[in-house]
Structures are given as C-alpha cells and as structure tokens.
Amino acid sequence: MIDTNQASIIELISRGDIQRRVTELAEEISRDFEGQELVVIGILKGSWVFLADLVRELTVPVIIDFMTVSSYGASTKSSGVVKIVTDLESPIEQRSVLLVEDILDSGLTLRYIVDNLRRRGPSSLKICAFMDKPVRRKADIRADYVGFEVPDRFVVGYGADYAERFRNLPYIGYIEEDAHGGEQG
C-alpha cells in the first residue's frame, strides 16, 4: 500500500493544459449536439471536477444528473464487480445522453453502466472520459470523447483519487512509489 502521507505526486498534466483541453472538448460536444438538449450524467465521485468545468463551457442546453457506482473501494485494482449505489433521478428514454467519467481503465465499470443505461432507451448514448488508459482495457468499450490518453500509471487529481485523497489537486499527477514497493492498479 502507498502511504498517502508520504506519497509524492509527480505532475503529468498541468492545470493550463487541462483548461485548454476541456475547452476543446466542450466545443466539439456542443457542435455534435447542436439543436439538442443533452442529459449529462456524471459517474461519482471521480467525474465531478471535470463535469463542473465541462458543462460550464457547453453551449447546448443541459440537464445534469449523477450516478454513484462502487468499483475499486480503497484499492487501486479493479474488482470487475460493479454496483449502482445511487441511481439517476431523471428518466433518459428518448434523450441524448452524455456519460462523463474521470478515467477509462479496464472499462469494466463503464461497460456495465452503458449496458444498464441502454436498456432505458435513450435516443443516443455517448461517453466522455477525461482520461483514457487504452493499454489496460479488458472490456470492449471506447470513449467518444477523450481528454487525454495517459500511461499505465495510477493517476490522481482533477477528481481522480487514491483512497479518496488527492481529488482536489488542480492538475493530474501520478504517485511515485517508494523504494519499498508500493502497489499499483
């Protein structure tokens, strides 16, 4: 385990780079959904920082809803077991839906959520992942919008946590393991 009091965070994506990329993504999404109202669904907790920045730059009307799923707990390893802890408040039948995630890693979490939401009959369902670790993929799933591709490191900040910590970092960094061998997801 990584001792979060001792961990050093190495910056990978700066605050400025994040801001510029979020603006680009918002422009692209606004263009693609022109003339439609979008239901933006944030997967909690990881997506809230990104979602807050993204939706304020969208030029299409939006409804915002959240879903809480359990995936990793306090570990960095995917269990493959996904449970909906808190469901959406709004129906999404015949709506244009954009799912917002912090990181697409194994893809097991999103695969489960997408299958679940599709059964509710949205007119379209797109995925926006702030970060993507394509080399880690186990499930057959890809994001329609990706902020950054990141290497196979455990990253934190801008909503992404390690054991609930570091979500408030305004940049993305990875945790440097010490010489005594920390665990990685």
Instruction: Report the catalytic residues.
Output: 105
Smallest distance, ligand IMP to C-beta of residue 59, A: 27
φ/ψ of residue 109, rounded to 5: -65, -50
Q: Which of 46, 122 has the CB closer to Mg ion?
A: 46
Asked whether position 159 contacts Mg ion by CB under 5 A, the answer is: no
If we measure between CA atoms, which residue out of 73, 86, 108 comes closest to residue 42? 86
Alpha carbon distance 45, 34 (integer Å): 28
Cα–Cα distance for residue pair 61/170, rounded to 1 Å: 27
Chain contacts with ligand IMP (rule: CB under 6 A): 46, 71-72, 78, 101-109, 154-156, 160-161, 185
Window 40-69: residues binding Mg ion (CB under 5 A): 46
**Which listed option, ligand IMP, Mg ion, none, makes contact with residue 134 (CB within 5 to 8 Å by class)?**
none
Peptide bond into 45 cis (omega under 30): yes
Place of tokens 């917002």: 100
The item of Mg ion, ligand IMP, none sharing an interface with residue 107, based on CB under 5 to 8 Å by kind, is ligand IMP
Q: How far is the CB of 92 from ligand IMP (least distance, A)?
A: 20
132 binds, among ligand IMP, Mg ion, none (CB under 5 to 8 A by kind): none
CB of 171 closer than 8 Å to CB of 140: no
Tell me which stretch binds Mg ion (CB under 5 A): 23-31, 39-47, 85-93, 120-128. Answer: 39-47
CB of 32 to ligand IMP, least distance (A): 23
Q: At closest approach, how far in Å is the CB of 35 from ligand IMP?
A: 30
| CB-nearer residue toward Mg ion: 77 or 118 | 77
SS (H, E, C) 21-76: HHHHHHHHHHHHCCCCCEEEEEEECCCHHHHHHHHCCCCCCEEEEEEEEECCCCCC
Site residues for Mg ion per CB under 5 A: 46
